[in-house]
Structure 1
Amino acid sequence: MSKERSVLVSPDEKRPPGRSGRALLVWGLLVVAANLRPSLTAVGPLLDRVQADLGLTPAVAGLLSTLPLLAFAVISPLVPRLAARWGPERLLWGALMVLTLGIAIRWAPSAIGLFSGTVLIGAGIAVGNVLLPSLIKRDFPTRVGLLTSAYATVMGAVAAVASGVAVPMSQVVPGGWPTALGCWILPALAAVVLWLPQSRTARPAPRAIRGHRLPLGSALAWAVTAFMGLQSLGFYVVVTWLPQVFQDAGVSAAAAGWLLFVFQAVAVATSLAVPAALRWARDQRAVATVSSAVLLAGYLGLLAAPGWALLWSVVLGLGGGACLVLALAFLSLRAQDATVAGALSAMAQSIGYLLAAAGPVVFGLLHTITDGWQAPIIVMCAAAAGQVIVAMVAGRGTVPPADGRAPGRASSPAPDRAPSPGQ
């Protein structure tokens, strides 16, 4: 996950911070990570109330998950050039300001504030998604595995808590659901404050990063892109609509929020276990295929017996957590050098998130048309089945450079084994 982002920051501009500076930097990175998901995952458990208060159809409500994904798709490929112009520290601080502004605007109980704030939130998170692994690679090159696991755990854990407390909080705080969504401005402001010293001591902007052609002619690159898009589609459909599916099966709104917490908590635990398993595998085809099949089993179970809500939350968390780690790992494991990794990452995240963006809207639209959840869940079963097929291709091999050049002397084909935590 870190390798493909290393091109964003030039290693020759590294400055070794002192002990207190390194501690402040670590805390800053972790607090930033804590803000990359809760503003998104808190929406799903509250979606029925949002729909009722604002008069939104399910398809329109699905845009609350789709808009951030569209922002990811549009902004992610631009981040390297923006970081080259302004410096990654200043760019990340600006992104945190945009995120904070978006949460504040979304606090207003209106459709305009809700959707415009969501766009800004997606834009801020998109920059953080790209820059965080790069900054860890630059400033802690011997602790990449440890800090990557730490920030991924913090990100997932806070996202899970946001899902669990959304409904109870909306019932007790003044203002209801707008306040339950708006309260996440507090950790966002904390991140702005903690990151401010880094933005003031930012290094000179690295030399301009020239764009490289996307590997659009590579079947393997398309398989990696499809895997990224399909697993993202599944995650954002689940965090948006799973609470309502459970509520219609007889689960209370508060319990449905906690079941979404279970899904994400299991996904966090699984994502921590997968890297260790990958180090012992010759390639990733088997683990990617099995993980995708677990997701398919979860959707099939949800279709056949939606009342077994806790079981399907656990099953979907097991498959979803593993597939997220695999999707990120493929971006470096399938590339023969850092340049190809950057191009593959841009292709997978831009096109993949465009695919994922359709998921919540289509899911809600099918629910509206059919007045039930069977048809949308069948579509998710088909998507998971497609992911099983794609996994067999995406789990092995290397993507060649799109310009036909041979890798440089210092470059070598990427190993099929996952990197060790210290790499």
Structure 2
Amino acid sequence: MSSSTVNHPRSAILGLIGLMLVALNLRPALTSVGPLLRTIGDSLALSSTEQGVLTTLPVLFLGLAAPLAPRLARTLGIERAVLAVLLVLALALLVRPYTGVAGLFIGTVFAGGCIGIAGVLLPGLVKRDYPSHASLLTGVYTAALCLGAALAAGTSEPLRQLLTSDWRPALAFWLIPAVIAAIAWWAQLNGKQVPKEPASVPAKSLYRDKLAWQIAFYMGLQSSLAYTVFGWLPTILQDRGFDAVDAGLAVSVSIMAQVITAITAPWVASYMRDQRAMILLVMTLTLAGLGGSIYGRSEDVWIWVVALGLGQGGGFSMALTLLAIRARDADTAARLSSMAQSFGYSMAALGPLFLGVLHGMTGDWQVAGIFLMLVGLGAVVAGMGAGRNLYVLDD
């Protein structure tokens, strides 16, 4: 892809297909672990804390690796940087199930890092190559991301049962979509001149901007809830009496519900005076869904996981939308994206870890549920600041 993509319909279509295939691979490495977590833990004798670390590592490295994205883009060009990330992701997904405990954790680290880099690069491609359709494509890109997450959450346990009841090939299966995406991405780049990104010009630091920090905290706190759900909700539901397949299916249904609000929440919010009301609505749905899933009646869980999905899909898409609309130009938006995702995902990594520690200390999910409610309330507070109709770096 290049800046001329939009002038060539066939290239534009191939570019969109490539973007969607890459987006599909930005969550399976994370959501495929949760349904298999109990089996993995039993197989490798992992404690609750170690299982919490396993669910935390990819989220932590989403944040730690995000600042590498601009450097890779300047060195390789955005397109080749995405290709390199896909190849490393596929290798990490191949290695982590078959190299013992150390390989499981190291492979998970690399997978999380690759996803973090790609997550910063793709929005920049959308803004650069499709500027007049950036909002719509951001929603579609988010929907594809949710679809990939749902597929991995819903099919990993059935795959394990199908593949000789061994969790290793079921976990390794998710390298296949990464390889397909890499081939499709390489095919559209083959023989094409792609520019490297120019060196950035020093600008006023976002780290001294109050609004930028409110956006980063909102990104981090709502993401903390999301990755806690990816990693632990299947186990929570199993402890409530669901079998492993139904628990994974419930998470898959929840993530599929995210697709609805991932597209509609930013669209509806664009007709409002600012984004605070929409953020409050989606976070209320998120908290209600979480509370119902943990404390509500077991027979009502399917209602609560749908409410949870509607809330989280809208919450995440609103976070991505804020990265674009709170900046006056594309360069500031890119810097805000890097800052918010780096800090936000690093903070979000603490959610799954703390939940695992709390569960290990108490033996149930009651106290852990209170912790999640507090995280959600923090996201509401940050969102009320980030949702105001202001711009970062405005004095």
Matched residue type, 2:271 = W
Q: Distance in 2 between matches of 1:243 and 1:306?
A: 16
Q: Distance in 1 between matches of 2:109 and 2:7?
A: 35
**Among candidates 25, 28, 32, match of residue 38 of structure 1:** 28
**Match of residue 344 from structure 2:** 352
Instruction: Please state if 1:385 is matched with 2:385.
Output: no
**Match of residue 251 from structure 1:** 242
**Match of residue 200 from structure 2:** 209
Structure 1 residues 371-410: aligned runs within 5 Å: 371-401=363-393
C-alpha displacement at 1:170, in angstroms? 0.3
Q: What whole-Å deviation, never above 9, does each CA across 1:358-416 have from its counterpart, x for those lacking one?
A: 011110010000111111111001111122222221110434439x7xxxxxxxxxxxx
Distance 1:211 1:111, change over 3 A: farther
**Among candidates 55, 67, 75, match of residue 65 of structure 1:** 55
Could you tell me whether the CA contact under 8 Å between 1:45 and 1:253 is conserved in 2? Answer: yes
C-alpha displacement at 1:199, in angstroms? 4.1
**Match of residue 288 from structure 1:** 279
**Among candidates 77, 80, 85, match of residue 67 of structure 2:** 77
**Match of residue 407 from structure 1:** none
Instruction: Please state if 1:266 is matched with 2:257.
Output: yes
What stretches of structure 1 of length at least 5 have no aligned partner?
1-8, 405-423
Q: What whole-Å deviation, never above 9, does each CA across 1:254-295 have from its counterpart, x for those lacking one?
A: 100000011101111121221221121000111111221222
C-alpha displacement at 1:22, in angstroms? 3.0
**Match of residue 170 from structure 1:** 160
Matched residue type, 1:167 = E
Matched residue type, 1:325 = S
Matched residue type, 1:67 = L
C-alpha displacement at 1:211, in angstroms? 5.1
Q: What whole-Å deviation, never above 9, does each CA across 1:21-41 have from its counterpart, x for those lacking one?
A: 333322222211111111211
Q: Distance in 2 between matches of 1:152 and 1:400?
A: 23
Moved more, 293-302 or 250-259: 293-302
Moved more, 388-397 or 321-330: 388-397
What stretches of structure 2 of length at least 5 have no aligned partner?
none
Structure 1 residues 318-333: aligned runs within 5 Å: 318-333=310-325
C-alpha displacement at 1:339, in angstroms? 3.7
Q: What whole-Å deviation, never above 9, does each CA across 1:81-113 have from its counterpart, x for those lacking one?
A: 220121111111100111011011013162122
**Match of residue 28 from structure 1:** 18
Q: Distance in 2 between matches of 1:343 and 1:19?
A: 30
**Match of residue 47 from structure 1:** 37
Matched residue type, 2:120 = V
Q: Distance in 2 between matches of 1:175 and 1:17?
A: 50
Q: What whole-Å deviation, never above 9, does each CA across 1:190-215 have from its counterpart, x for those lacking one?
A: 11111113444242313212454542
**Match of residue 356 from structure 2:** 364
TM-score when normalising by structure 1: 0.87
Instruction: Please state if 1:191 is matched with 2:181.
Output: yes
Q: What whole-Å deviation, never above 9, does each CA across 1:228-252 have from its counterpart, x for those lacking one?
A: 0010000000111011111111111
Could you tell me whether the CA contact under 8 Å between 2:61 and 2:346 is conserved in 1? Answer: no
Q: Distance in 1 between matches of 2:204 and 2:338?
A: 10
**Among candidates 224, 232, 241, match of residue 223 of structure 2:** 232
C-alpha displacement at 1:303, in angstroms? 4.0
Distance 1:299 1:147, change over 3 A: closer
Q: Which runs of 4+ in 1 moved over 6 A?
A: none
**Among candidates 111, 124, 133, match of residue 123 of structure 2:** 133
**Match of residue 219 from structure 1:** 210
Matched residue type, 2:268 = A
C-alpha displacement at 1:14, in angstroms? 4.0
**Match of residue 341 from structure 1:** 333
Could you tell me whether the CA contact under 8 Å between 2:78 and 2:197 is conserved in 1? Answer: no
Could you tell me whether the CA contact under 8 Å between 1:212 and 1:343 is conserved in 2? Answer: no
Instruction: Please state if 1:105 is matched with 2:95.
Output: yes
C-alpha displacement at 1:16, in angstroms? 5.8
- Name the structure where helix makes up a greater proportion of residues: 2
Q: Distance in 1 between matches of 2:172 and 2:302?
A: 28
Distance 1:64 1:213, change over 3 A: farther
Distance 1:294 1:24, change over 3 A: closer
Matched residue type, 1:69 = V
Q: What is the aligned-residue RMSD (CA, Å)?
A: 2.1
**Match of residue 147 from structure 2:** 157
Q: Distance in 1 between matches of 2:380 and 2:225?
A: 13
Between the two proteins, what is the percent identity of the paired residues?
38
Distance 1:310 1:327, change over 3 A: same
1:192 is paired with a residue of what secondary structure?
helix
1:166 is paired with a residue of what secondary structure?
helix
TM-score when normalising by structure 2: 0.93
**Match of residue 279 from structure 1:** 270
